[in-house]
Structure 1
Amino acid sequence: MLDLLNYDKRVKIFESLNCILCKEPCVPIARQPRSPRLLHCGSAICHECFEKEKSLKQEEREHKCDWGETCFYNPNFAYCVIDVLLQDCFTLSPILGGYLLMKPLVNPECPMCHDEYSNKDASKKAFFSLYAHYLMSQDSLVLSPILGGYLLQKPFRPECPICQDEYSDKVDNKKSFWLYCNHIICQECHLNFLCELPEMTRQLEEMDKSGYRFCDECKKLDIVDEMHHCKKCLLQLCGNCTYKNHRSHKAITLLQKEAGLMSHELCDLSISEVQTYNQLFSGLHKELSDGLQGFDQKLLKKKRDLTNASTFEDLREKHKKCTELKTDFEKCSEEYMPHVRKYEKRVKELMKTLDDDPN
């Protein structure tokens, strides 16, 4: 199995998915020592560090920000971070001590309006925890002019607009109106994560181009030349996982699989590109040939019209027009021919390159 550190000294992890204090990666589950907790300042901190810091006096804490004492008032886990980690796009690298992007990931979006979060749009860039105390919808209330206030006109179930869990006035079930909701809305978002995402996506693309893949089972990075493709399970696997779990399945090398995909892609290119241009040029040449014949006939007709000139001045005018048309035709033909010859020469060179290539 490939050692990531020997692959590239520049390989980076998502620092935004690690605790800001102990630097350990967060886990995608609540109520564990490494579960993410969200501070009021927007930073993610593991549950263990959160409880340790919270028990200290403000001046003794390692984490200091403008929020002061209130930074540790949020009682909930950072489910917004957990939701991100639960996507099947990350793999934890014990060697590097953090998460790597294993598959392409589009920007997370607001679960309410479905706009993507952005690290460029000021209205969509910081982290904001949505309070759980929501207003009733207008169709649940009716204004009573007599009583001078609103009355409930139909049953109303206060619930989170995202997870649809019902809120309660009981504190023990964690659904009090004065507790925080466990989700985020699009006014703000995890700025650090969004800033890292484009770079991590480029890193994934670089790994892919360099011939490295993640094993679909153990999630470790390996070189394509030493991996396999299980035809039964349709998985790309390292040699170890192939031997342990897929020995009885029909498998081919991942190199063969990649070669088949690339060959199919080139065949599609041949059909969609080369044949398309072949048909296009054939059609253009036919139209051009028909146009040349039509132009020749009309020019001959103009030349014959010279004998019908009523005066010498009329004859000179008609002759001048014919001469100008002939000159324009020769000029545009001379401009066009080098391009045709250049194209023909280039195609022949490409054919020779294919003939000379031993592979």
Structure 2
Amino acid sequence: MALLPWVALTAHTAVNALLLRRPPRDAQTGEHVALLLPLRNEAARVTPCLESLLAQRGVPHLTIYVLDDGSTDGTADIVRAVAEAAAGHRVVLLTGTPPPPGRLGKPHACQQLADAAADADVLSFVDADVVLAPGAVASAVTLLRTAGIDLLSPYPRITGAGRLVQPLLQWSWLTFLPLRAMERSPRPSLAAAGGQWLVIDNAAYRKAGGHAAVGAEILEDIELARAVKRSGGRIALAAGAPLATCRMYDSWRELADGYAKSLWRSFGTPVAAGAVVVLLLLLYASPPLAVAFFALTGSSGAASVALCAYALGVGGRVISAAATGGRSWPDALAQPASIAVFGWLVARSFLLRRRGALTWRGRPV
């Protein structure tokens, strides 16, 4: 009984890993798909991303819309060069307008892209740090249709800085979110999505109000998923690792700033955030400390229970990594340290929010 919480959570991770939707390989679609790429100062990243979009196969009716959102680093020039080298009639480069008062930059940019692609059947939003495999879009659209889903979030394999923290993204929803219940439930609160790559039926997008309905939200991806649910649509997560990679951050400083801008919003209030962090610390950071304490005090039975709790926590990370294309070893062994660092990032996010010091890409949050 003492190990029941760890056993239940790790078992839930395993069940979710089995149920996680997986896009088919070598798919084709005859629908008109619009790939939508918002860019702001992405000169260092846009080339591999755009080249991967141009290399898509199995989608004969494909248009790529790129929006330059006030870049000052020559991003638009690079887009033109890549498009011209690839016979760029498939690339439409737009110049974005500044977000109006009360709206944030990314959702405003995404809405402008969606407006330009009004005649498409399916919209696929892609971030500049994502590189898609050649058949990724056709596979994702096929899964969208065969599963009867309105918004699909194929979660890419995450690379780059942050091996201690980044895997917690996938692990958290595999461990705590009942995936099939999320798909079936109409409750907007039961929703998850990753904005790095979203695939959505255009009609469902319009019905939900599009990004204009979530223009003030820092977590516009999750709020868009909730808006789709409110309008009667269905959402789903999928294993996108075989189809896409995402290099979210190149340095620890970038990661810390990226998490700071959004973690405060993930929990709603400092009290709720504190409760979640304390619970995670008790479940996943305290067991190895308890092992050492009980071993030193001669309580071998209690030490064995604590060791099993730690092992179950590590097992959950291993399962998550296997399902989402992450690293299993030795990263999973550092689960207690990952949780401790995550708790610090949450506290830092709320502190910077209180000070009014949150910014992203040169704009206040």
TM-score by length of 2: 0.20
Larger Rg: 1
**Which protein has the bigger helix share?**
2
Greater RCO, CA 8 A, separation 6+: 2
